[in-house]
Structure 1
Amino acid sequence: MIIAQRYGKALFELAEEKAQRQSILAELLELKKILQQQPELLKVLDSKQVSYHEKQTILQVLVKAASPLVANLLQMLFDYGRIDDLAAIINEYVRLNDQLEKTVHAQVVTAIELDEAQKTSLMASFAKVVGASKVILEEKVDPEIIGGVVLKSNNYIYNGSLRLRLERIKRLLLK
Structure 2
Amino acid sequence: MSAKQDNSEKVEAYARALIEAARGEGRANADLVMWEHARKFSPEVLETISAMRDADDLDLIEKVAKQYKEILDSEDKTVSVTVTTSVPLSDELREKVRTKAENNLKAPVFLVERVDPEILGGVILEARGKRYDASVKAQLANIRKTLASTFIGSDEQ
TM-score under structure 1 normalisation?
Answer: 0.52
CA–CA distance in 2 between the matches of 1:36 and 1:102?
33
Pick the structure with greater CA Rg: 2
- Gap regions ≥5 residues in structure 1: 1-33, 42-61
Give the secondary-structure state (helix, strand or coil) at the position aligned to 1:112.
Answer: coil
- Gap regions ≥5 residues in structure 2: 1-33, 151-157
How far does the alpha carbon of each residue in 1:72-102 deviate from its partner, in whole angstroms, 9 at most, with x for none?
A: x556523331235447635642442233221
1:112 Cα shift?
Answer: 0.9
How far does the alpha carbon of each residue in 1:102-158 deviate from its partner, in whole angstroms, 9 at most, with x for none?
A: 1111221101110122112112211222232x2112211111111110111241111
The percent identity for this pair of structures is 25
> Which of residues 94, 115, 125 in structure 2 aligns to 1:119?
94
Match in the other structure for 1:37: 37
Q: How many matched pairs?
A: 115
Give the secondary-structure state (helix, strand or coil) at the position aligned to 1:160.
Answer: strand
State whether structure 2 residue 127 is matched by structure 1 residue 167.
Answer: no
State whether structure 2 residue 148 is matched by structure 1 residue 148.
Answer: no
Match in the other structure for 2:132: 158
CA–CA distance in 2 between the matches of 1:94 and 1:141?
26
CA–CA distance in 1 between the matches of 2:51 and 2:35?
18
CA–CA distance in 1 between the matches of 2:88 and 2:118?
13
CA RMSD in angstroms, aligned pairs only: 3.3
* TM alignment of 1:13-162, pairs within 5 A: 37-38=37-38, 66=44, 73-74=48-49, 76-83=51-58, 85-86=60-61, 89-90=64-65, 92-132=67-107, 134-162=108-136
CA–CA distance in 2 between the matches of 1:117 and 1:99?
31
CA–CA distance in 2 between the matches of 1:126 and 1:81?
43
CA–CA distance in 2 between the matches of 1:120 and 1:78?
44
CA–CA distance in 1 between the matches of 2:36 and 2:105?
30
How far does the alpha carbon of each residue in 1:4-62 deviate from its partner, in whole angstroms, 9 at most, with x for none?
A: xxxxxxxxxxxxxxxxxxxxxxxxxxxxxx988129x9xxxxxxxxxxxxxxxxxxxx9
Give the secondary-structure state (helix, strand or coil) at the position aligned to 2:114.
Answer: strand
TM-score under structure 2 normalisation?
Answer: 0.57
